[in-house]
Chains A and B, each alone.
Chain A
Amino acid sequence: MTDTTHAGQAGIEYPPEAVPPPPPRRPGVSGTLRNSWRQLTSMRTALLLLFLLALAAVPGSLLPQRGLNAGKVQEFYAAHPTLAPLVDRLSGFNVFGAPWFAAIYLALFLSLAGCVLPRMWRQASGLRARPPAAPRHLRRLPSSATWAAVGDPVTVVDRYRSSLRGWRIDVRSEPDGSVALAGEKGFAKEAGNLLFHLSLLLLLVGVALGGLFGYKGNVLIKEGDAFSNTVAYYDTISPGRQFSPRQLAPFTVVLNDFRATYQPDGEPQTFGATVSYTPQPGVKQRAYDVRVNHPLQVDGAKLYLIGHGYALHFQVRGPDGKLAYDAAQPFLPRDASFASDGVVKVPDIPPGKDGKQRQLGFSGFFTPTTILGPKGLESGYPAARNPAVTLLAWQGDLGLDNGRPQSVYGLQTRGLHRVVDAAGKPATKTLRPGETLTLPGGAGAITFVGFSEFATFQITSDPGRQLALIAAILLIAGLLVSMRVRRRRIWLRVRLGNPSDGGRTVVEAGGLARNDPESFAEEFAGICARLGALPTAPDDGHQAAHDPATKEN
């Protein structure tokens, strides 16, 4: 590798720009392939692909994304019924999983590998190479100096060699009897740059591992309830492509208590969930405090607290006066003051006198701090200072037996009608804890017994996580080294002086900065001084940056 092919700031050889491409002599298949490879691994292509990548990410932030918020995608469908399917076809709602997005980053990483691997090879062989021999005219270098020394050239060079710590040194004797020392520093710059780029590849591997073998799911747990880490317990689960349910660590979690505190203006202040968990069947139960920023880790899975709300305890009696329902039902918050919506479904009602079964359903609106707003009841504060639930009663077929899945948080009103009194007024009432709504016509009664809280958790497992973290750390380390290290070369030529020099030994020194040249003149002067010499007057035009204008620390 000869120096004259170097180009660019770090003195690295960049394939197509620095070395003019060979004339297209061989138009055969292998020649075409070779040319395409050369194109792909060129700096220009890397630049282009970087831009494409940045550009391709933009729609991912502007269009609603399924993985982030499926509801927003539905809203988009409703608002733009003609445009939405087209956007969907182009993976617009899943930009970061889109084939065209993958094509861009895969091309970029292919280019990266093609560019970095040969450079690693060169770097490795460069480690053994001798620093380049001293040029004939050291005074023509950007920085140079001449001084006199005591001793014969070999001794002088030996002395200098030992005071140039941290430099790669090579000493050669020249035909005219002088001794030349070549020194080189800053190999770490290229090494750092390579480490940076290789870490990017490693990061991609880490991300891919997570995408293939990881999973992510959500569960809602009421205070006092337990959760077992099996697919059936999850409300939603999104597994990686190679995920198998057997990967789920067999732990169970019981939510003992959930607490939330709020500032006077209703902004949340602290959340915390006290849980007991069993890492594996047969192991002793342990306690843990799950908070925001403080997940529970079990067996490679992590359990995060992501939300909370109120679970309302109701008792429902049928026309026969017997208890038909006695349970707590989570109500999902609709705003920051925890006004919440929920339903109660009571399928097990005995048939009435006419022999027809009328199942009961209630849709409810819970307000932890109930106030009367301009549009009716609303919640004034997230904590339960004045809790009340407003219920509306329904009767008929809940539709639970028709095989179609339905949400536990909503009523399917197709088979239902409102329970009304003789005057045709719907049966509705706002209940405080302990109060009862008695349905007209002896249809039954519902009692709001009390309330507790629930917490929602996200459970994730990402086997690529550690690797990605290591890659990120290496990436930053490589970057810092690459951006900070300075590459320098110096040469010293020591010869016995002519009679005109007074017969003393003469040292000629020259130096060259391969990056950050503006600070070099000073460094060079420092090196010369350390070698025990006062540099001669600056060489006009070369010994340039010697004034404070380009001072640098």
Chain B
Amino acid sequence: MPVDLTLAHRSDTLLFLAVVVYSLAMLGFAAEFSFSRRAGVARALSRGELRRSRSPVRVGGGSADTELPQAPRTPPAGADVDTTGDHLGRLAVVLTGVAFALHAGSVVTRGLAAHRWPWGNMYEYSSMVALVATGAFLLLLTRERVRYLGAFVLLFVVLFLGLAGTVLYVPAGPLIPALQSYWIAIHVAAAITASGTFAVGAIITLLYLLRESYDRATAAGRRTRISSVGRLLPPAASLDRVAYRVHAFAFPLWTFAVVAGAIWAESAWGRYWGWDPKETWSFITWVIYAGYLHARATAGWRGRKAAMIALVGFTALTVDYYIVNIFLVGLHSYAGV
């Protein structure tokens, strides 16, 4: 079936609109984050947290999480909450929802235009990863107080989509034979979901590291350049915990994506594993994230070092996506630009 050009064009327009609204939402989150007077509250809270951080566990030993200060609480009644900031933040959430819907519309129309799953090349794949990242953030919002993440996640989303819409853009078209299989729905969808979630995990981990070094600097009586951001962030323990939850969700998905890829490779190329560059880097990524999960259970590696490992894992994922697809020739090369 030929490509439906009207729909394909509509998909492009929707994506453009989504990027515009994402940018507005990002500004909203950034304004809430920086202009609000929550700084004082945050500090008071982290003091409160530290008081609570004496390990309350008597039996069964301390778990990695309970040894650390707990998550941020709602500000005590009567605390000095900045309502302008709060309103801005709520508005930004609504805008994010709108942009997410536009973005999802862009993906769906693209798929309908080309009569196939909308993840057959790097442009489409990037768009999906950004969609998942936003989705993961919105989902997290319903479960945790993570509005502070908004500006950072959307910054990533806007940059990522910008790169996708310019450098990686290709017009809608059919798939080459090697990709014509129902496995593309399973394997690639899993890889996309895992990647988008890992991206959010990496952002939270970065914020954790920021906050953690701010805490150390403060404890040592130093002021640092990152203070202005660091003091606005929630307590390090809370960031660490949320980062772990996000990674713990993404890791089994990535594992599944790799296994599904192996099954597909077996039926497409006659071997389930052949150390093709894409396979190699997926493996490296997997092993590093396994290292992250291990590090969190290894004395002397929790916290800062484990966080660094998670970031190394995300670096490997980025190499797997950009460097391998564009520069390293292999069987997966057609997944290219």
Interface residues of A (CB under 8 A from B): 3-12, 14, 17-18, 43-44, 46-47, 50-51, 53-54, 57-58, 60-62, 65, 67-68, 95-96, 132, 135, 140-142, 207, 216, 263, 267-271, 291-295, 302, 304, 306, 458-460, 462, 465, 468-469, 472-473, 475-476, 479-480, 483, 489, 512-518, 541-542, 544-545, 547-553
Contacts and interface: CB of A to CB of B under 8 A. Distances in A.
A54 B300 contact: no
Contacts of B256: 476
Contact of B177 (A67, A271, A516): A271
Which 6 pairs across A and B sit closest by C-beta, in order of nearness? Answer: A6-B61, A17-B299, A304-B270, A293-B181, A61-B280, A43-B298
B74 A549 contact: yes
A468 B274 CA distance: 14
A7 B271 contact: no
Contacts of B60: 3, 6, 11, 132, 489, 512, 514
Given A4-B61, A67-B274, A518 B71 contact: yes
B50 to A, nearest CB: 13
Contact of B270 (A142, A216, A469): A216
B174 to A, nearest CB: 6
27 contacts: A5-B61, A8-B64, A9-B63, A11-B60, A43-B294, A47-B291, A47-B294, A50-B288, A50-B291, A50-B294, A54-B287, A57-B284, A60-B275, A68-B330, A140-B56, A263-B174, A292-B268, A293-B264, A469-B263, A472-B262, A479-B252, A514-B60, A518-B70, A518-B71, A518-B241, A541-B56, A549-B144
Nearest to B287: A54
B56 A542 contact: yes
Nearest to A59: B280
B65 A518 contact: yes
Given A68-B330, A548-B74, A18 B296 contact: no
Contacts of B22: none
Nearest to A469: B263
B33 to A, nearest CB: 18
Nearest to B275: A96
Contacts of B281: 61
Given A263-B173, A483-B251, A550-B71, A514 B63 contact: yes
Given A3-B60, A51-B291, A61-B281, A295 B270 contact: yes
A67 B174 CA distance: 32
Given A293-B264, A512-B57, 9 more contacts: A8-B63, A47-B295, A50-B291, A51-B288, A61-B284, A95-B275, A96-B275, A216-B271, A270-B180
A253 B62 CA distance: 65
Nearest to B249: A483
Contact of A142 (B57, B73, B252, B291): B57
A142 B56 contact: yes
Contacts of B263: 469
Contacts of B174: 263, 267, 269
B264 to A, nearest CB: 8
Contacts of A10: 297
Interface of B: 52, 56-66, 70-74, 143-145, 173-174, 176-178, 180-181, 183, 241, 248, 251-252, 255-256, 259, 262-264, 266-277, 280-281, 283-284, 287-288, 290-291, 294-301, 316, 324, 328, 330
Interface centre among B57, B59, B73, B143 (most CB of A within 10 A): B59
Contact of A462 (B71, B271, B330): B271
B115 to A, nearest CB: 13
A6 B58 CA distance: 11
B288 to A, nearest CB: 5
A544 B70 contact: yes
A14 B297 contact: yes
B181 to A, nearest CB: 4
A7 B274 contact: no
Contact of A50 (B251, B290, B330): B290
A382 B269 CA distance: 22
Contacts of B299: 7, 14, 17-18, 43-44
B62 A7 contact: yes
Nearest to A462: B271
Contact of A465 (B176, B264, B272): B272
A517 B59 CA distance: 14
Contacts of A61: 275, 277, 280-281, 284, 324, 328
Contacts of A68: 274-276, 330
A549 B270 contact: no
Given A46-B294, A295-B267, A541-B56, A58 B177 contact: no
Contacts of A472: 259, 262
A150 B223 CA distance: 60
Contacts of B177: 268-271, 291-292
A405 B176 CA distance: 38
A132 B298 CA distance: 25
A476 B253 CA distance: 9
Contacts of B268: 292-293, 304
Contacts of B252: 476, 479-480, 483
B70 A551 contact: no
B59 A489 contact: yes
Contacts of B66: 142, 513, 517
A68 B280 CA distance: 12
Contacts of A541: 52, 56
A3 B59 contact: yes
Interface centre among B61, B248, B274, B287 (most CB of A within 10 A): B61
Contacts of A67: 274-275
A300 to B, nearest CB: 13
Given A10-B297, A268-B177, A513 B145 contact: no
Contacts of B180: 270, 292-293
B183 to A, nearest CB: 7
A21 to B, nearest CB: 12
A3 B57 CA distance: 11
Contacts of A512: 57, 59-60
Contacts of A3: 59-61
A132 to B, nearest CB: 7
Contacts of A475: 255, 259
B70 A43 contact: no
B241 to A, nearest CB: 6
A542 B57 CA distance: 10
A301 B61 CA distance: 54
A516 to B, nearest CB: 7
